[in-house]
Amino acid sequence: MQEQNYALKTILESVFKEKNHKITKRLIHNNAIFGGLSSNWIKLVFIVLPFAMYAAVFNPTSFKELGIAQAIVFYIILLVIAMQIVVGVTYFNNKKVVKTATKEWEKYFPNIDFKMILSSGVTPYMDFKKHYESALYDDLDEKAMKKRLVDAFKEMEEENSILVEAIKRDKEKREGK
């Protein structure tokens, strides 16, 4: 099987949505880019699921056997199960996308942790979205995009040098044990 190489923009499209050169983090990552299931199909299933359960519980045959009280309780229980399915499918989909995107990301930026780019917390790369939006606005090609992001990573690391050093010390400490 031949290994697939993905463009930098393609990798980032799996976890970010772009609209008018503004990006937002996807709630459900798009695995279609890597040959998996599209996030739109997953959303469609999530929307249809409660209606399918309603049809299963409140159809004339089931409703006649269950009665009103049991049908309502059964429907509520099925909705709880549906919510657990939604959480589970989203978790495993996002985990798989991040794992695949991380492997591809490391081909471009081996020293930059992809999960830090996605993190909502304080990381040295918390301004990544601003730099990436700027690169999208300038409509750069692959090489220019990579160069712009390399420069941006250097700038972010310089601005957050204390945090970068703390992360390195923590990593060395964990590897030493």
pLDDT tens for each residue of 45-90: 999 999 999 999 999 999 999 999 999 999 999 999 999 999 999 9
For residues 172 and 114, state if they share a domain.
Answer: yes
Residue 152 pLDDT > 80: yes
For residues 115 and 102, state if they share a domain.
Answer: no
* Measured distance CA(121)–CA(147) in Å, rounded: 25
Mean pLDDT across 142-146? 89
Measured over the CA atoms of residue 86, residue 99, residue 141 and residue 122, the dihedral's sign is positive
For residues 10 and 54, state if they share a domain.
Answer: yes
For residues 70 and 149, state if they share a domain.
Answer: no
- From 108, 131, 154, the end of a domain falls on 108
Beta-bridge mates of residue 16: 25
For residues 95 and 116, state if they share a domain.
Answer: no
Mean pLDDT across 23-29? 90
Long-range contacts of 53-57 (CB under 8 A, 24+ apart): 53/78, 53/79, 53/82
Range of the domain at 172: 110-177
For residues 24 and 56, state if they share a domain.
Answer: yes
For residues 58 and 85, state if they share a domain.
Answer: yes
Alpha carbon of residue 96 to chain centroid = 9
For residues 120 and 83, state if they share a domain.
Answer: no
Two structure tokens written together for 65: 């056997």
For residues 21 and 48, state if they share a domain.
Answer: yes
Whole-structure pTM over 0.85, yes or no? no
- From 108, 138, 161, the end of a domain falls on 108
Q: How many domains does the chain have?
A: 2
For residues 159 and 115, state if they share a domain.
Answer: yes
For residues 114 and 135, state if they share a domain.
Answer: yes
Please write the tens of the pLDDT for every residue from 95-137: 999 999 999 999 999 888 899 888 888 888 888 999 888 888 8
Say if 1 falls within a structural domain. no
- From 71, 90, 108, the end of a domain falls on 108
For residues 121 and 175, state if they share a domain.
Answer: yes
Q: Which residues contact 127 (CB under 8 A, 6 or more apart)?
A: 152, 156, 159
Say if 139 falls within a structural domain. yes
